[in-house]
A = this chain, B = another copy of it.
Amino acid sequence: MFAEIITIGDEILIGQIVDTNSAWIARHLNNIGIRIKQISSVSDDRQHILTALAEAKNRADIILITGGLGPTKDDITKKTIAEYFGVGLIENKEALSNVESIFLRLRGTLANMLDVNKQQAMVPENCEVILNKNGTAPGMWFNVDGTIYVSMPGVPFEMMYMMEEGVIPKLKATLKLPVIVHKTILTVGEGESYLANKIADIEDSLPSHIKLAYLPKLGQVRLRLSGDGEDEAALKTEIEEFAARITERVGKHVVAQQDISLEQVVLNLMRKKGLKLAVAESCTGGYISHLLTQHAGSSDVFLGGAVTYSNELKEGLLGVKQTTIEQYGAVSEQTVTEMVEGALANFNADYAIAVTGIAGPGGGTPDKPVGTVWVGVAKRGKTMVKKFTFGSKRAQNIERSAVGALFMLITLLREN
């Protein structure tokens, strides 16, 4: 069962907004066994929309359309879809009463309602309306010659509500969907080609209904097994067996058996054990703290820490000795050791992370080029430090340092 997503609107094509809707829709359809064949972003242009619909119909059973349903002149999705089906527009009572109730809530009276507001309730005569609880543009469901078309607003929370409450239940009720099972293994510290080489024979032995995808991100690779079938329990068992073989083969580089972020692995591990974390960040400049604290509930684990860009703060907050910095430099094994042990002691944590390095593009020397990063992790009685040599790009060096530090922390946490 294939679907296509068509997003309509110039704001995507001029790069003003990033299309986050499509990934959201794709994820939710995949979960119910519908694969996305193609995602297309097209302009608010009649002919372009008609062509996109015709092309999509040749490839997919379900076509999901977002955008172009606003009340302004450049929003032409609705009338273009009516043209595509060769039908007229009629007023829909449900949609009109939704428009009126929203108008009333915002304005307190229907007296000033304009024609453009009322026109929001006009829909192609061959559609079923899907309620938009969060806006005036109704969703529209068409089932024509065995193809399902759904038109939704481009505003993310309007679309999401409509998908969850209307479209997904209706797709499940209308279609006979296969069972899809996904399993993600998060690995850190080995490149895609090394992993591929290491598990080549396992990959080759996969049956045709199970696929393995490599999803790389700086310093990390997600290995995702996806299978389809009819018997969910049997499929799960089968996929778990392959996952177990891959996990055993890849060894310590596997940090999670689910599709979560590296910092969530840390938070989960530490939360389970009731452990507290503090950080001392120099070249990562608060990024590790931000990664952790973007997650709800991180305060269970994360105490906080110091962002010590200046040497004075390394000394003042972490107790790094001035002589250490003078003798070995701020980016050195000795300094990172004092940083991480200082964070552990001063912030009263069970575990600590420290990072000091040259993120670049400036600040490098022949001895310590840009990309030189020292990471330390520590618990009471044990400190581990490691030197990394990354590249010349600042953002990448910050990201890689964070990944390296979190992976070292996971390694230390696993020792118990």
Contacts and interface: CB of A to CB of B under 8 A. Distances in A.
A286 interface: yes
A281 B303 CA distance: 12
Interface string A300-342: 0011111111101100110000000000000000000000000
A383 interface: no
Contacts of A360: 296
A41 interface: yes
Nearest to A20: B18
Contacts of A284: 293
A286 B293 contact: yes
Nearest to A112: B194
Contacts of A26: 12-15
A36 B307 CA distance: 42
Interface stretch (A70-78, A79-87, A89-97): A70-78
A114 B393 contact: no
Nearest to A295: B394
Most buried by B among A19, A35, A134, A297: A19
Question: Interface extent on A, as a size class?
Answer: 35 or more
A155 B371 CA distance: 19
A117 interface: yes
Contacts of A304: 282, 306-310, 313, 317
A16 interface: yes
A313 B304 CA distance: 7
A235 B371 CA distance: 42
A42 interface: yes
A30 B14 CA distance: 6
Contacts of A298: 285, 309
A39 B13 contact: yes
A258 interface: no
A247 interface: no
Given A157-B395, A298-B309, 20 more contacts: A10-B213, A12-B26, A12-B39, A13-B26, A15-B26, A19-B19, A37-B48, A39-B40, A40-B40, A70-B214, A114-B194, A116-B193, A157-B396, A281-B289, A285-B298, A290-B290, A296-B361, A303-B310, A306-B306, A306-B317
